Structure 1
Amino acid sequence: MRPNVLLLCTGPTTIPAGTRSAELVQLIDLGATILTAVGLRPLGEGQDLLPLATNRATGRGWALSEYRNSGHPYPTPIHLTMLRRDHWKLVVQHASPATARTGELYDLAADPNELQNLWDDPLHRDIRTELQEFLLDVLVATEDRSQERVADW
């Protein structure tokens, strides 16, 4: 079984030792959490995890990960987006808009080792479509809008 990536925290906070949460969090949440923990205002990205760790809030219910041909670029660029929601994992392999999109879909409750890709399975087409639509909403909601708008259009 593939283990989840764990986030371990320590420090002078009000989080009781041994506290565990199954909520999905993202790397981008660490900045907001650290700034809040030291008494500073977060920069607007990420979610402060302290209320989540002390059961004063619930998580967002999903996690997003993106790979945009970084690190060691491939001759043909590779662009992937992963969405984890509940026990589902969706990986979309982005291509030119004129080409067929492909990807991966896993039911982590039934297949924790991600051995059975359900992307092309007709029985899972509805959940794949639902997750792709949700992913689109997440991407729009989390896009960087920090650039100054210089005109109305």
Structure 2
Amino acid sequence: LRLDELLLLNALWREGNLDTGNAARLTQKPETDARATLHRLVEAGLIEERGQKKGRTWHLSAATYRLLGDKAAYVRQRGFEPLQQEQMVLQYVEKHGRITRKEAAELCRITGPQAYRLLDRLAQQGLVEREGERGRGVGYRRKPR
């Protein structure tokens, strides 16, 4: 392994995940070089990527956690699948009556824009309905049957 690869693996072990910008700062190279290094680590099966475009993050792979003797850490770090996120949001709404974008982001451990898309998808499916026009006051509640 090259020095840049070792630096990134060490940071991923310590921090849990990394975005491309932080990888570039850590290796002191342009983002394109950092991204190429991260892709080499993906091809080697040491790390995985999650998300798309600017929201992409990188974390250690299940195989790497297994080699390190910490299988559960992979599940904690990987986060939840979209179907799990939807169920978590719906359960939260059942218990608390409504949910905001910020609460959904914290609950599912995702970014604000990802939480917005998740809540919007649930609204389009008719499972929740939006309350409020815009800003912090917007919430989502269970749609009456």
> Shorter-chain-normalised TM-score: which range?
under 0.3
Using the size of structure 2 for normalisation, the TM-score is: 0.24
Q: Which protein has greater RCO, CA pairs closer than 8 Å, 6+ apart?
A: 2
